[in-house]
Amino acid sequence: MQNRKLGSSDLEVSALGLGCMGMSWSYSPIPDRNEMISLLRAAVERGITFFDTAEVYGPYTNEELLGEALAPFRGRVVIATKFGWAPGSEGETRWTRLNSQPEHIKHVVEGSLKRLRVDAIDLYYQHRVDPEVPIEDVAGAVKELIRQGKVKHLGLSEAAANTIRRAHAVQQVAALQSEYSLWYREPEKQILPTLEELGIGFVPFSPLGKGFLTGKIDENTTFDSSDFRNMVPRFNTENRKANQALVDLLQNIATKKNATPSQIALAWLLAQKPWIVPIPGTTKPHRLEENIGAAAIELTTDDLNDIEGAAAQITVQGSRYPEQLERMSNR
């Protein structure tokens, strides 16, 4: 596994990271904890050094999982986590309220440090931009945590280009984490040029389209009742049927390369910029191996042109999020 630097920062990580949300939250059924500990440790041994979590995943349980699993590898791995959500009313388990007030950030970082079992958080993302708090105040709060040695680098997630610029003027932003893949290419319009100009790394989440680009999901697939994809418009039956054309494209390229659709989707992302580090998530050892294999696939200029030409003929159907979540993006 080769390493990549996230922009002009000194944060060097494996070319592919591991998104850990599904190990504790959101996808169902939730896998066995001990199996996930084994998977995380196997990822390190296979060369992955970049792991992504958040306090809201669980909540808290995902950070605790990584804290235990990665404790033997301190100094060898980079752990990114996120702040910016808060519990709702008393007794409510869902975290539906944003809170990036500086005092809140300075409070919750202590819990993340304890759960992750680290002295400093390698990369601390604002999970979603909070319209009630100027981004300069958010960046300033994290800057203070960096000064105190509790955080090493600031990150943003799903932020708009102007917001990124404003935060970066206060404290260097090491990385932006936002959705990007062959079935969601909105970042190409403004985000990627801004990141390149400012020297900020890009960490695409959902690089496999929440599993759709693996080719293992079709119009007949049923999800567990608690699986969040049930409320994602892009995953309704009609849209899955329409979007199969994109999977067929990946399969055609994969056949020529003796690869899988997942590997081509990840290799395509890696080929876009040398400072892009996708974080596919998985809970299965064989999928981990498959994803790692993508880092060894080289797509030629002709391959990339073929993918671009074919993708241009496909219009992806359905929103990537329910409306209330989509409103939290790109602001």
Query: What are the distances in angstroms from CA 226 to CA 34, 143, 229, 291?
Result: 22, 38, 9, 26
* pLDDT for 29: 87
**What's the rounded mean pLDDT across residues 4-8?**
97
Average pLDDT over residues 234-239: 95
Residue 91 has pLDDT above 60, yes or no: no
* Tokens 């960046």, located at residue: 139
Domain ranges of the chain: 3-326
For the question of residue 57 being annotated catalytic, the response is yes
User: 46-68 pLDDT, tens per residue?
Assistant: 999 999 999 999 999 999 999 99
Residue closest to 136 by CA, chosen among 104, 102, 109: 102
How confident is residue 96, by pLDDT bands cut at 50, 70 and 90?
A: confident
Amino acid 93: pLDDT = 56
Average pLDDT over residues 25-32: 88
Note the pLDDT of residue 13. Answer: 98
pLDDT in tens, 200-218: 999 999 999 999 999 999 9
Mean pLDDT of the chain: 95
Q: Would you say the C-alpha torsion 272, 273, 279, 284 has a positive or negative sign?
A: positive
Cα–Cα dist 155/164, whole Å: 9
**Res 155: pLDDT:** 98
- pTM for the whole structure: 0.96
62 close to 23: Cβ distance less than 8 angstroms: yes
| CA-to-CA separations, 312 to 13, 182, 202, in angstroms, rounded | 32, 10, 23
Active-site residue, from 57, 124, 180, 184: 57
233 upstream amide cis, omega within 30 of 0: no
Per-residue model confidence as pLDDT tens digits over 14-25: 999 999 999 999
pLDDT band at 87 (very low <50, low <70, confident <90, very high): confident
Look at residue 39 and tell me whether its pLDDT is greater than 80.
Answer: yes
CA distance 278 to 135: 25
pLDDT bin (cut points 50, 70, 90) of residue 325 is confident
What is the rounded CA–CA span in Å between residue 47 and residue 32? 23
pLDDT in tens, 253-309: 999 999 999 999 999 999 999 999 999 999 999 999 999 999 999 999 999 999 999
* pLDDT of residue 234 exceeding 80: yes
What pLDDT is stored for residue 92 in this prediction?
A: 54
Q: What does the alpha-carbon distance between residue 291 and residue 19 come to, in Å, rounded to a whole number? A: 12
Q: Which CATH number fits domain 3-326: 3.20.20.100, 3.40.30.10, 3.40.50.720, 3.40.1210.10?
A: 3.20.20.100
Distance CA 158, CA 172 (A): 17
What digits encode the pLDDT tens for the residues 145-197? 999 999 999 999 999 999 999 999 999 999 999 999 999 999 999 999 999 99
Which tops the pLDDT comparison, 327 or 38? 38
What band does 324 get if pLDDT is binned at 50, 70 and 90? Answer: confident
Q: For residue 264, count CB atoms less than 10 angstroms from its CB and return exposed for 0-12, middle for 13-18, buried for 19 or more.
A: buried
- The pLDDT > 90 percentage for the chain reads 91
